[in-house]
Structure 1
Amino acid sequence: MRVWTSFAAACALAVGAGSIAVAKESAPAVKAIQQMSPAEMERVRTAGAQILFWSDAQRSANFRAMEAQFPGTTAKAGTPRALHKGAALPVSDAEIEAFMTAQNVAGLMVIQDGKVRLERYGLGLGAQDRWTSFSVAKSFTSTLVGAAVKDGLITSVDDPVTKYVPELKGSGYDGVSVKQILTMTSGVKWNEDYTDPNSDVVKMLSVAVKPGEDPNSAYMKTLPREAEPGTKWVYKTGETNLIGVIVQRATGKTLTEYAEEKIVKPAGFEGDLFWMVDSAGQNVGGCCLSIRLADYARMG
């Protein structure tokens, strides 16, 4: 393995999918963000089935404008952090274009030592446009956990998840810690098959819930345990959704409000951040934020 003495970060956007106070013993009220119409509620409830099974043409058209498709909240940009130009990478334009075409890449940026060495756009995307994150959002949500711990709003990642999401008591999440949710080692059974319309990742937000009820815990509490907590890793978008619920309950803020304070403005984003919400009006922790290519690079 070669050890690099300088920091390098690369960010690519493609058409393929997927690339406090202490909580009380009753479920805290979810902060209302807006009144959704029945049509918006239905789009939110069926978002997984819609987005995961879009054609490439639909993805190319919609991934740049998710706010036109689904309700959500916005974190406002502040003073931009400058990204200065560096020496161009020793790669020909033809090679870069061939790669982007083959991979359906909408944006590609490489930063080394704080300087931009490569920046290219495709599929009609521009530098001022946003593109959806899919699971890159998980890194934003887990970063906000760290901020909430530092702020003393989450006591410890060793706390049981039921301390913050008491609706999960009596389910497979009994005895599971916040850390085990963060590392996806809860031992709870899960299917993340994006091609299967009956998989958990497709169905997780589609459950019918009462107004204001958390659809994440409503679905997750129905899942059986298949291993002891901490002994088996399985990739689970639903568990990062639960992390988003924990952060929002612990801070009393939407993820966009807390991200604006802890990520967007400190990192010097040049554009606003849009984040989709679920049927309870909570930002979806496991996916679905949209920012500019350069702001993904700033986060990196």
Structure 2
Amino acid sequence: MRHLLLAAAAAALLAAPAAAQQAVKPGVPSILQWSPEQQKAWYPAIETAYRVNTIKAGGKVHPLPKAAKQLPDALSDAYMAQNDVSGFLVIKDGKIVAERYGLDRKPQDRWTSFSVAKSVTSTLVGAAIADGKIKGEDALVTDYIPELKGSGYDGVTVRQLLMMSSGVKWNEDYTDPNSDVARAGTAIVEPGVNPLVSYMRKLPRANEPGTKFTYNTGETDLVGILVSNAVGKSLSAYASEKIWKPYGMERDAVWVTDLAGHERGGCCISMTLRDYGRLGQFILDGGKAAGKQVVPPEFVARATSPQIKNGAPERGYGYFWWMPVSGAFEGRGIFGQSVTVFPEDRIVIVLNAAWPEATKRERSMARTAFLNSVREAAKGL
């Protein structure tokens, strides 16, 4: 459990230093150091703090009708109050059975995702495979990021990156200012080369690719660069084309960029609470939008089922999705963000929050217990 929580906490650290240098106005601290007042002000409006690209929504909105029976507010009152929850949404069989807001948030307000963005990036890989832009999960990373040729990424496949098992040596210690996660991508050292790529191509190999799970936020950003290179457009434009417009997201989203102006594949998309729900529903529905298969069903199945053991008391790790023992698959972000899908029950649960700490064992345990109680209550409706 401790390994899992530390990994989750580190998920945004790669984004933090570079994003701080991309601040819209001077004096914006690292996102990990925001006060409760700054969290409340900037989580729903991150574009006022950091530079972003926009994911355009279309004109048609995917309906999320309200079910006749709703979960009682009493079920979530205590959890929301104790964990600074700004948004709580439950969808069952495509209908809303609970929708609540806190911290003065309104339904039209966005909220930043932290590492839930990783699950979006994984989904865009599947879309690029369907489009024939990526040859398949076994395609070589160096085919799409040629600057990595001759590095520890020689012979590494797209699938191995998605499983966080490239074998490249990586230090995700967020307490060490000299760790890879603290240093990667924070300076442009080779003009014309993304700063993250410049850093990562100098790293040595530690394990045989595909054999060991190593939580590596740098590689989630690398996957974002890989997708952009493959499809010939920005991640924001591609997410708009493949998810936001065809599935019917209700509002434009924004995505924090790195020093080179590239969206960070591992962090910080901001969207509305209902659009988080639509994201979960899109994956639950097998990657279909407007009657079209956007992501291959077999890719969705692998992405949301255990592909590698991750050293935590869970079923394993998929393609940037976590696999809790409850049978769900889950996108997670620090400070209390999650999109949890229970496929057997056709239930999607979204939580947005502003925890006072990035992660804490007691809070993670409380969230798990709360999610399980909500699931049981929703099954009974």
Do the structures match in fold with TM over 0.5? yes
Distance (Å, rounded) in 2 between the aligned partners of 1:100 and 1:181: 35
Listed one character per residue, the Cα deviations across residues 109-143 of structure 1 (whole Å, up to 9, x for unaligned) are: 00000000000111121100111111111111111
**Paired residue secondary structure (1:180):** helix
**Paired residue secondary structure (1:265):** helix
**Matched residue type, 1:190:** W
Distance (Å, rounded) in 2 between the aligned partners of 1:242 and 1:40: 16
Cα distance, 1:267 vs. partner? 1.5
Whether the 8 Å CA contact 1:48–1:205 is kept in 2: the answer is no
Q: Which runs of 5+ in 2 are unaligned?
A: 1-8, 13-17, 281-381
Q: Does 1:139 align with 2:119?
A: yes
Match of 2:22 in 1: 43
Distance (Å, rounded) in 1 between the aligned partners of 2:10 and 2:218: 16
TM-score, normalised with respect to structure 2: 0.64
**Paired residue secondary structure (2:89):** strand
**Higher RCO (CA-CA < 8 Å; seq separation 6+):** 1
Listed one character per residue, the Cα deviations across residues 158-197 of structure 1 (whole Å, up to 9, x for unaligned) are: 1211111121122221211111011111111223344544
Q: Does 1:278 align with 2:253?
A: no
Q: How does 1:12-161 map to 2 (within 5 A)?
A: 42-43=21-22, 50-78=30-58, 79-91=60-72, 93-161=73-141
Distance (Å, rounded) in 2 between the aligned partners of 1:48 and 1:195: 21
Distance (Å, rounded) in 2 between the aligned partners of 1:230 and 1:48: 39
Q: How does 1:198-237 map to 2 (within 5 A)?
A: 198-237=178-217
Q: Which runs of 5+ in 1 are unaligned?
A: 1-15, 20-38
**Paired residue secondary structure (2:181):** helix
Distance (Å, rounded) in 1 between the aligned partners of 2:275 and 2:192: 32
Structure 1, 197-206 or 264-273: larger mean CA deviation: 197-206
Distance (Å, rounded) in 1 between the aligned partners of 2:203 and 2:266: 18
Distance (Å, rounded) in 1 between the aligned partners of 2:22 and 2:127: 31
**Matched residue type, 2:64:** L
Q: Cα gap change, 1:90/1:148 in structure 2, threshold over 3 Å: closer, same or farther? A: closer
Distance (Å, rounded) in 1 between the aligned partners of 2:177 and 2:69: 44
**Paired residue secondary structure (2:119):** helix
**Matched residue type, 1:85:** K
Cα distance, 1:198 vs. partner? 3.6
Whether the 8 Å CA contact 1:52–1:194 is kept in 2: the answer is no
**Paired residue secondary structure (1:257):** helix
**Paired residue secondary structure (1:233):** coil
Distance (Å, rounded) in 1 between the aligned partners of 2:240 and 2:133: 17
Distance (Å, rounded) in 2 between the aligned partners of 1:115 and 1:54: 35
Match of 2:353 in 1: none
Match of 2:242 in 1: 262
Cα distance, 1:53 vs. partner? 2.8
Distance (Å, rounded) in 1 between the aligned partners of 2:180 and 2:40: 25
**Paired residue secondary structure (1:83):** coil
Distance (Å, rounded) in 2 between the aligned partners of 1:199 and 1:103: 30
**Paired residue secondary structure (2:44):** coil
Distance (Å, rounded) in 1 between the aligned partners of 2:188 and 2:27: 14
Size of the aligned set, in residue pairs, is 264
Distance (Å, rounded) in 1 between the aligned partners of 2:198 and 2:151: 11
Cα distance, 1:57 vs. partner? 3.1
Whether the 8 Å CA contact 2:196–2:218 is kept in 1: the answer is yes
Distance (Å, rounded) in 2 between the aligned partners of 1:47 and 1:221: 31
Cα distance, 1:278 vs. partner? 1.2
Listed one character per residue, the Cα deviations across residues 185-238 of structure 1 (whole Å, up to 9, x for unaligned) are: 111122334454443333222133344420121121222222110000012121
Cα distance, 1:47 vs. partner? 12
Q: Percent identity?
A: 53
Q: Cα gap change, 1:275/1:263 in structure 2, threshold over 3 Å: closer, same or farther? A: same
Which of 177, 187, 191 is residue 157 of structure 2 equivalent to? 177
TM-score, normalised with respect to structure 1: 0.81
